[in-house]
Amino acid sequence: MTDRLERLLNLVIALRETRRPMTAADIRERVAGYDQPDADAFRRMFERDKADLRALGVPVETAPLDRYDDRAGYRIDPRAYDLPEVHLAGDELAALAVALQATGLADEAGYGLLKLEVDAGDPGGARAADPRLGVALDAPHRATLMEAQLTRTTVRFSYSRPGEPAATRTVDPWALVHRRGRWYLVGRDHDRDDRRAFRLDRIDSDVRAVGGPGAFRPPPGDIGVDDVVPPPPAAGPATATVVAAEAVAWQVARRARGGGSDAGDGWTEFTVTVVDPDDFLGWALEYGPELRVVDPPELRDAVVARLEALLA
């Protein structure tokens, strides 16, 4: 079976790459796996392989060698065989990332997913826990909340919003939604008797079940967060200017637009896309004194305020 698969792959590669149709004699001489001494055995094998490839959807064409030679030749037209370019939206990339994690293939397929992110035109987009993937593979409590969603079990947790004290929330988990690099729980908030969305990274306690399975029925149709999480501005995401020390410049470059410019004294200046200011601040602060936010002033002031709060 291995030999046959290898032979079929060799035949596909040869027929796809050839510029001039290959005759049966060319295939017997030049394609590995078809070196049978008996011509009849070769012909039977080749006809069987050709039929199998066509049954699989591989467009093996029969064509004359040229206008002066009417002998039959074989080729695979790349335009009919090659897959079109794949361009996935951010939510589609996130769904694929979750599938890879759930199947245990994130390590093996991570760089392939990163290539899809680059091809989608947003290589510096929602940078998350696994920088190889560029989209959030996981978030705090996601597994627990997914189980509660599937079993329709009400949950309770402590939730903190910026500038507000933590509060206990009791929620019917309708759906987990990925939006602009963040995971949200969407459901009915019992305390407010209304639909709400909760960012998973702002849940600051264990998620506990309240009651048993089958406690609620989610609403029909798609469940999103667009009415809770505003879309990006029509003009597109903002940018920030940062300077990075030599030790971290290569890491900052992965999120930046362009390769950066020399800022003197071993520092490099970069322009970084800012989709979510909160996310940007967390990312910038990870580098400590080796990254400085230069512009815009409001982001620089926000970094200073965070540092002063830490010192206090």
H-helix or E-strand spanning residue 249: helix 246-253
- According to the model, what pLDDT value does residue 236 have? 47
Which amino acid, one-letter code, is at 26?
D
- According to the model, what pLDDT value does residue 70 have? 73
Contact 245, 253 (CB under 8 A): no
pLDDT, tens digit (0-9, with 9 covering 90-100), for 199-231: 888 898 999 999 899 999 888 777 766 655 655
Confidence of residue 266 (pLDDT cuts 50, 70, 90): confident
- The closest of 162, 139, 181 to 273, measured between CA atoms, is 181
Q: Which CATH architecture has domain 2-81?
A: Orthogonal Bundle (1.10)
H-helix or E-strand spanning residue 154: strand 154-159
- According to the model, what pLDDT value does residue 282 have? 79
Contact 131, 254 (CB under 8 A): yes
pLDDT, tens digit (0-9, with 9 covering 90-100), for 54-106: 998 999 999 888 777 778 899 999 888 887 777 777 667 777 777 776 666 65
Q: Residue 154 half-sphere exposure, CB side, CA atoms within 13 Å?
A: 13
- Is the domain covering 146-210 a CATH 2.30.30 domain? yes
Taking the C-alpha atoms of residue 150 and residue 153, their distance in angstroms, rounded to an integer, is 8
Confidence of residue 180 (pLDDT cuts 50, 70, 90): low
Give pTM, 2 decimals.
0.42
Is 189's pLDDT higher than 90?
yes
132 vs 39, more confident: 39
Token pair for 91 = 């939510």
Is 258's pLDDT higher than 80?
no
Confidence of residue 157 (pLDDT cuts 50, 70, 90): very high
